[in-house]
Amino acid sequence: MRQEIKSVWPLKPMVVAIGVVLAIAVPAAAFVGGFFAGQNTVVPPSEIDAQIDAFAQVRTLANWEAEVDRQPSAPITRIVAVESGDNLMGVLLRAGAERTVAHAAIQSLKGSYDPRRDLNVGDELQITFGPGTIRTVEDGGSIDTAKYVLARLTIPVSYDRLIDVSRNEKGDFEASEVERQLEREVVEASGTIDSSLFVDASAAGIPPRVLAELIRIYSFDVDFQRDIWQGDKFELMYEQFRDENGDIVHQGDIRYAKLTLRNTEIPLYQYTTTAGNLDYFNAKGNSVRKTLMRTPIDGARLSSRFGKRKHPILGYTRMHAGVDFAAPRGTPIYAAGNGTIVKAGRNGAYGKYIRVRHNGTYQTAYAHLSKFARRTRNGARVKQGQIIGYVGTTGRSTGPHLHYEVLRNGRQINPRSVRIPSGEKLKGAELKKFTALRDARDLEFAQLREAAARLAENTVDEK
Ligand SMILES: [Zn+2]
């Protein structure tokens, strides 16, 4: 038995379809089955089976055409999530595609998308079926069966890009990468710290990705264990992106943030210099980026300071040559500064250990890791903030934590005592440009804040 695809789209809807696409030829407006944008329906998997069955009742081509005439062939889009152990063929078959058709669709991806490498668990594929016929050749004769046939497939590659596999005029599959049209909005959030920045900012609705970014941009200046007090305040403004269904698909950068720590205000502004460097600057136009980060980990609690202490395992008093940050196993560890990895491997009581050389004077070391990041190996160059490994409890350790050392001329020193050279200072025309942006951001935040306050007031009034 051999199966081949005779035709996929009846001619008439095809012509209509092209008209529709041209009329709305915005790159990603075609996202939800743009062939019949507007007429298309997204049907839950349970219902589509019934629809396919109903359609497959029509056996002959003549009947089928008549049926199509009576019933304007609305394509059906099914959303299927990739599950653990899936491959693309499996997903398409599960959605109801014929194997030969699915194969042709997958073939068309060559050069633009490698499903074996790029398909991720959780990716949501939009799979659209349109009316077509499947010809079955058997014993010298052939039977045409009208069926819903795979017509279009979209695979997300990032929050704002997707691969679109559609039929061309000849009915063959063609893959292209398209930009999704997302709506960008700027969101404000603010609050008072009662227990910790992490806890209270989470409670204020700041998403984890944004919060991690907030901690990172302040980690050059703020020791989150020592500098934060009850009653301190935070405010920030960040971007988020919504898809055509209004769902938030991505949280973008922090544009502005301010921590008020015991009456000291520390505002930061995201700014891209004329040379193209995106960074955070304080109100005077000084970059927050320093040679070394104080805290090369997100949201961790400082659990042991540098200096003499009673060793938790050995029992006697000895020098603690670094600082410990308690954090769950698997928490990412960042390179504290730009540099070269001079050691990545097992190192006695340190367990899995990394040392990074930053310049002729400074090195940093990271111990007790559960595992190394993929590109962490001797001689590899690292950038500040790059993930180099993950928290664990290898070596002589009582529980998951990062033991972090700063070495000056080969000797461990107290990381807090390091005089860290400051980053870029904006000057002249660049500073003028920055100042204008800073003032615009301040105004933007004030307006968002006011709007939010008004909304809250109205909500109260209605009650
Ligand atoms: Zn330690």
For residue 21, is pLDDT > 70?
no
Give the containing element (helix H, strand E) for 348. none
Distance 227 CA to ligand 1 centre (A): 21
For residue 265, is pLDDT > 70?
yes
Distance 266 CA to ligand 1 centre (A): 30
Distance 301 CA to ligand 1 centre (A): 13
Question: HEC profile for 173-238?
Answer: EEEEEEECCCEEEEEEEEEECCCCHHHHHHHCCCCHHHHHHHHHHHCCCCCCCCCCCCCCEEEEEE
Distance 304 CA to ligand 1 centre (A): 7
Distance CA 179, CA 27 (A): 6
For residue 72, is pLDDT > 50?
no
What is the per-residue pLDDT for 76?
Answer: 81
Distance 323 CA to ligand 1 centre (A): 5
What is the per-residue pLDDT for 335?
Answer: 93
Distance 388 CA to ligand 1 centre (A): 18
Distance 395 CA to ligand 1 centre (A): 11
Distance 240 CA to ligand 1 centre (A): 38
Strands (E), 214-361: 233-242, 248-261, 264-272, 278-281, 301-304, 307-310, 317-320, 323-326, 332-334, 339-346, 352-357
281-289 average pLDDT score = 89
CATH class of the structural domain 182-290+423-463: alpha beta
Distance 292 CA to ligand 1 centre (A): 19
Query: What number does CATH give the domain 2-179?
Result: 3.10.450.350
What is the per-residue pLDDT for 367?
Answer: 97
What is the per-residue pLDDT for 299?
Answer: 65
Distance CA 327, CA 420 (A): 25
147-154 average pLDDT score = 87
162-183 average pLDDT score = 91
Distance 300 CA to ligand 1 centre (A): 14
Q: Is the dihedral of CA 309, 315, 319, 324 positive or negative?
A: negative
Q: Which residue has the higher pLDDT, 50 or 25?
A: 50
Distance 403 CA to ligand 1 centre (A): 4
CA neighbor of 365 nearest in space, from 356, 373, 374: 356
For residue 13, is pLDDT > 80?
no
For residue 28, is pLDDT > 70?
no
User: CA-CA-CA-CA torsion for 384, 389, 392, 396, nearest 10 degrees?
Assistant: -80
Distance 416 CA to ligand 1 centre (A): 15
Distance 392 CA to ligand 1 centre (A): 12
Q: What is the pLDDT of residues 380-393, one digit of tens each?
A: 999 888 899 999 99
Domain segments of the chain: what residues?
Answer: 2-179, 182-290+423-463, 301-417
339-354 average pLDDT score = 95
Distance 11 CA to ligand 1 centre (A): 72
Residue type for position 200: D
Q: How many CB atoms lie within 10 A of CB 138?
A: 10
Distance CA 387, CA 374 (A): 9
What is the per-residue pLDDT for 421?
Answer: 63
For residue 231, is pLDDT > 90?
yes
Q: CATH classification of 301-417 is 2.30.330.10, yes or no? A: no
> CB-based burial of residue 404 (10 Å sphere; 0-12 exposed, 13-18 middle, 19+ buried)?
buried
Q: Which two tokens stand for residue 165?
A: 């596999």
Residue 157, phi then psi, degrees to nearest 5: -110, -25
